[in-house]
Amino acid sequence: MDSDLLLLLRGDLAAAAYTVDRLQQLWGPDADDALHRGDRVLALRRALAAGAEPLALLARLFRLHDALAHHELALALPTLGLQGARRLGLVDDAGRARLDVAPLSAIDGTGAADWWIVSDLDELALGGALPPGHVLGVGGASLTLAGLQPTTPVGAVLDLGTGCGVQSLVAAARASRVVATDVSQRALELASATFALCAVDAVELRRGDLYAPVAGERFDRIVSNPPFVITPRRDGVPVYDYRDGGRVGDGIVEEVVRGAAEHLVPGGTAHLLGNWEYRDDEDGLARVARWLEEAGLDGWVIERERQSPIEYAATWIRDGGTRVGTAEFERLAGEWLDDFSARGVVGVGFGYLVLRNPGPGTTTLRRTEAVDSPRLDDAGGLGDALLAGVAMHDRLAPLGEAGLAVLRCAVAGDVTEERHYWPGAEGPTVIRLRQGGGLGRVIEADAALAGLVGACDGDLTVGEIASALAQLLEVDESALLEQVLPQVRELLVTGFLALVE
């Protein structure tokens, strides 16, 4: 796209204060909630009521997919103008948007930032199924991966499969250099437009499949939401560039995982979304652990959801715009089920992967777990929490029981305790420790563990607390230590407890 015209568009968007906060103020929280459900009626009425205000006109054009008259386009884009908008491919002759330009609020290296993301029109705007070359805008998965990116400064970052470019924007705020790749030329063009609108020039765009554009290069950090959707390799099954990587089964996730070993510097980390197959002869998480071991990588793999083959098929058939109950839906579901059956697939897990190329001072970590938490829908800060857990694992790994017992710990500030009693009971029947940040874990605790955590204020060592608890509970001290020391190690790694130096 013409860089000079994009600069004019940027000026118009900024002058109109076309931001997430201002749009929410324009139409209010109830209309905003309805928009997230795909209902634009109330927001459109309120935008129309705002008349010729540039913000309202831009909202109608890009967010509400309404047609603007020529004079309204001139008011909405006074610097770019109608001809400039057409040359950029932003609008058609009827005054409707041909591209989506969406505001996004984020936190970058200098604080709050307002960005504009360029992508193709979504299914609601198109009024039908998406075309195969569709470039996806910012969705839930994009925001989740952004939250999985650590906020610590870093040197070189690889954004593998950049799409509209949002992960590169997040990375560029923390990195000295970003390389963004994609197999789609259209994705690279729209990502370039995104970077121009956001005045980000630290990103180098390269075209190619997965790691091919960076052969022989290594990075401090890799981020990727690869096109991991498992799609039958059969005639008549539509494929979409943004979600289909052209491999059989979960092969693309395996390829991304294994390839990270060759493209991370020692101690470098990768932060990924992905899914993995459960098969008749292999557990899904064990399958990922095998990839890590064979590649020589450390990893922390978190499964946040698991679907049956028919649930998985229905999810992605609907995503392509085919409605449940139609003959086409049933035909496609049959193709998916046949494909799964041919490989003995009995389920598909989805989640997050943090990988590390071992380096000086690191210890082997290959942790896989299924976690059910509403916090995983909003992964803000999760990248930092997971890296902190990895660092804590390294620190604790050399310590035996005696080393753990002399540690001084404090309860993390986001941890609360719940106790439930049967009516009239003297003691609790259920004790739960709940984490407000991190993975939002909830763990069941007995009286010993709850008492130990409650006493962790940094004054006494773990061993001293356990000794006092053993007397209070009238149990053997050595047996109590044998029980709680592994639990303390786990609570430190998962962020329930912090070390006090």
| C-alpha–C-alpha distance, residues 184 and 160, integer Å | 12
pLDDT value for 376: 65
What the block records as the tokens of 393 is 């694992």
pLDDT value for 108: 55
**Tens-place pLDDT, residues 136-180:** 999 889 999 999 999 999 999 999 999 999 999 999 999 999 999
pLDDT value for 38: 84
pLDDT value for 106: 79
What are residue 113's phi and psi, to 5 degrees?
A: -135, 145
Domain ranges of the chain: 3-98, 122-394, 401-499
**Tens-place pLDDT, residues 277-286:** 999 999 999 9
pLDDT value for 377: 63
pLDDT value for 36: 85
With the CA atoms of 255, 260, 262 and 266 taken in that order, what torsion angle do they form, in degrees rounded to the nearest 10? -160
pLDDT value for 1: 83
pLDDT value for 103: 96
Question: Kind and range of the H or E element at 391?
Answer: helix 382-396
What SS3 state is found at 475? coil
CA angle (450 as vertex; 445, 452 as ends), nearest 5: 130
Ranges in the chain, pLDDT < 50:
none
What class, spelled out in words, does domain 122-394 have in CATH?
alpha beta
Per the listing, tokens 């993301």 go with 117
- Number of Cβ atoms within 10 Å of the Cβ of 369: 13
**Strand intervals (E) in 153-290:** 154-160, 175-182, 203-207, 219-224, 264-279
| C-alpha–C-alpha distance, residues 327 and 359, integer Å | 54
**Tens-place pLDDT, residues 224-265:** 999 999 999 999 998 888 899 999 999 999 999 999 999 999
Q: Which long-range contacts (CB under 8 A, 24 or more apart) does 99-103 make?
A: 99/190, 100/62, 100/125, 100/137, 101/9, 101/13, 101/62, 101/197, 102/62, 102/63, 102/137, 102/138, 103/13, 103/18, 103/19, 103/20, 103/23
What the block records as the tokens of 378 is 């909003």
| C-alpha–C-alpha distance, residues 130 and 275, integer Å | 22
Assign 3-class secondary structure to 117-132. Answer: EEECCCHHHHCCCCCC
